[in-house]
Structure 1
Amino acid sequence: MAAFEITREGAVAHLRLTRPEASNALDMSFWRGFGPAVSALDRTGEVHALVISGEGRNFCAGMDISVFSSGAILPAETSAQRQAFHQAVRDLQDALTALEKARFPVIAAVHGACVGAGLDMVSACDLRLASADALFRIEEINIGMMADVGSLQRLPKILPEGVVRELAYLGNSLTAGRAERLGFVNAVLPDAEAVVAAALEMARTIAGKAPLAVTGSKAAIGYARDHTVAEGLEWVAVMQGSLWNPSDILTAIQARRSKETPAFAALAPLVTPGSEG
């Protein structure tokens, strides 16, 4: 069975993790295909929001044990193997970083357990919704290793540092209610069905905004996270000049006055090097 499936409804894409029998643990087919799939959606310019959800009882149980037992990552006895290990970890990181690099916002619709690499994934999303029974856990510390695919780097930008240290050292769970109070999740819904419905509605609302303004806002927030206020202000002044689109502004104003749905142009498709001819 495929690790995930993607469907489209207009400008909204929905990626579902489809290994419910394994609580959507992320096997090598996921790691090989996920980054390219997200990048492919971005290249079209037609996707303006992406929802990620999981089938079955849990959102994601983390890294599938087969990733380790296959020998693709584990060997690190020689210098050459350690160099290959380093590159393998970078490849895993890059797969999830595709979510941050995508021009569209990504919404995680989480229910049940979201642990290990699953938490790495949702940490790279723009928005997170959770069911009342959802829980988040840095599982790696419980199996004798440190997390290395994004949680320890992204969570301190979202959660209080003391809470991240608690999760990283103790290996305990962050409940949905506490996650909402701390600002990690945007809302808590009764169950998985409600979470997905709310995420898709949020995605449709985003898709109804001017795509250039949305992608510019995502880029500005990401830049501000990693730079000083002064650097962020200078960056956004330059970026605004490059994205300034009077047509979108007039369209939005006229739609508001007429109470009609605005029709904005899609983003330009991205050209893959070597694909021109």
Structure 2
Amino acid sequence: MAGGDRGSPEAELRRGFKTLAVTRPDASAAVYEVRLNRPAQLNALSPDAFAEIPRAMALLDRLPSARAVVLSAAGPHFCSGIELGGPGSPLEATSRGSDPVAAAEGLRRAILELQAALTAIELCRKPVIAAVHGACVGGGLEIVAACDIRFCSKDATFVLKEVDMAIVADLGALQRLPRIVGYGNAADLALTGRKITAMEAKEMGLVSTVFNSKQELDAGVAKVAKEIAEKSAWAVMGTKAVLLRSRDITVEQGLEHAATWNAAMLRSNDVKEAIKAFLEKRKPVFSKL
């Protein structure tokens, strides 16, 4: 490996992952796939997964050839939730030492680290599209809630199981789901722990489209991701940034934020190219990152 290449996003991605497979399925598209890759464990989220998800997202955020990200899973199911027990389990923090305050603080820090790992999906400037099939349980649903767009196959099921485990979901679902499906639907899922079907998920707005099969899901998501990736990268990243910012503030504050953002971005070469291409009735050629 050349010295100048060491440390680049491309070089870091080539190092690989234990729990993920990060690939560029179509060399002609600026789309990367991040696949949960522990099918034998039903893609349960291990400590390694919580370390690798933010690493992958940070690398793709910096990678110029990545303009959209698909988050999928290998095997028959999307994710069975957090892996309980074993080395590195966050529950270990409850048994460290004899001081209950120290144990509580250790558990708090562990939870904050897990939260940050999934928030990294949201913080990636590139849009992240979830492609869900099979069971999506607990922490898997919290991953999905952190994505920008969500699709699933008709065999998909979703369940926020934490209440049945005598715990409160703490990785973002209780904060993000009410903004996605509304407070009532989020409360229904979180308080009952009931499993919902793909069509129920579509009806409440958790997913945008339900595909008939895993194959159709993969093809449909790839098409959407490629269409997004062909748009101006600055416009796409700016749209994601303004959407996320506006979600958590008033309409007036959101309008002010959008005006500030576009005060700089409306002067980009991509805007000039989009207008010129429209007038010339051709496909625009946008600048590279």
> 2: distance between equivalents of 1:80 and 1:45?
43
Q: Report the counterpart of residue 31 of structure 1 in structure 2.
A: 50
On the 8 A contact 2:43/2:77 being kept in 1, the answer is: yes
Q: Report how far residue 154 of structure 1 moved.
A: 0.4
- Counterpart AA for 2:23: T
Structure 2 residues without counterparts, runs of 5 or longer: 1-16
Secondary structure at the residue paired with 1:158? helix
The answer to whether the aligner puts 1:73 opposite 2:90 as a matched pair is yes
Q: Report how far residue 44 of structure 1 moved.
A: 2.3
- Counterpart AA for 1:178: E
Match of 2:109 among 75, 87, 104: 87
Q: Report how far residue 20 of structure 1 moved.
A: 1.1
> 1: distance between equivalents of 2:154 and 2:222?
18
Q: Per-residue displacement from partner, 1:144-199 (whole Å, max 9, x unpaired)?
A: 21111011110011112111111111110121111112211110001112111111
Q: Structure 1 stretch 76-85 or stretch 204-213: which is displaced more? A: 76-85
On the 8 A contact 2:20/2:36 being kept in 1, the answer is: yes
- Counterpart AA for 1:73: P
Secondary structure at the residue paired with 1:172? coil
**TM-score when normalising by structure 1:** 0.91
On the 8 A contact 2:269/2:287 being kept in 1, the answer is: no
> 1: distance between equivalents of 2:47 and 2:39?
16
Q: Report how far residue 259 of structure 1 moved.
A: 5.1
Q: Report how far residue 243 of structure 1 moved.
A: 1.8
Q: 1:23 to 1:258 in 2, by over 3 A?
A: farther
Match of 1:64 among 77, 83, 96: 83
Match of 2:246 among 215, 224, 232: 224
Q: Report how far residue 242 of structure 1 moved.
A: 2.1
> 2: distance between equivalents of 1:204 and 1:228?
32
- Counterpart AA for 2:86: S
On the 8 A contact 2:83/2:89 being kept in 1, the answer is: no
> 2: distance between equivalents of 1:181 and 1:169?
19
The answer to whether the aligner puts 1:2 opposite 2:18 as a matched pair is yes
| Larger RCO (CA within 8 A; separation ≥ 6) | 1
Q: What is the 5 A alignment of 1:159-178?
A: 159-178=181-200
On the 8 A contact 2:47/2:88 being kept in 1, the answer is: no
- Counterpart AA for 1:17: L
- Counterpart AA for 1:157: R
Q: Report how far residue 249 of structure 1 moved.
A: 1.9
Q: What is the 5 A alignment of 1:1-277?
A: 2-8=18-24, 9=27, 10-65=29-84, 68-70=85-87, 72-74=89-91, 75-76=93-94, 78-258=100-280, 260-267=282-289
Backbone CA RMSD of aligned residues: 1.6
Q: Report how far residue 217 of structure 1 moved.
A: 0.6
On the 8 A contact 2:130/2:147 being kept in 1, the answer is: yes
Structure 1 residues without counterparts, runs of 5 or longer: 268-277
Q: Structure 1 stretch 165-174 or stretch 114-123: which is displaced more? A: 165-174
Give the count of matched residue pairs.
265
Secondary structure at the residue paired with 2:227? helix
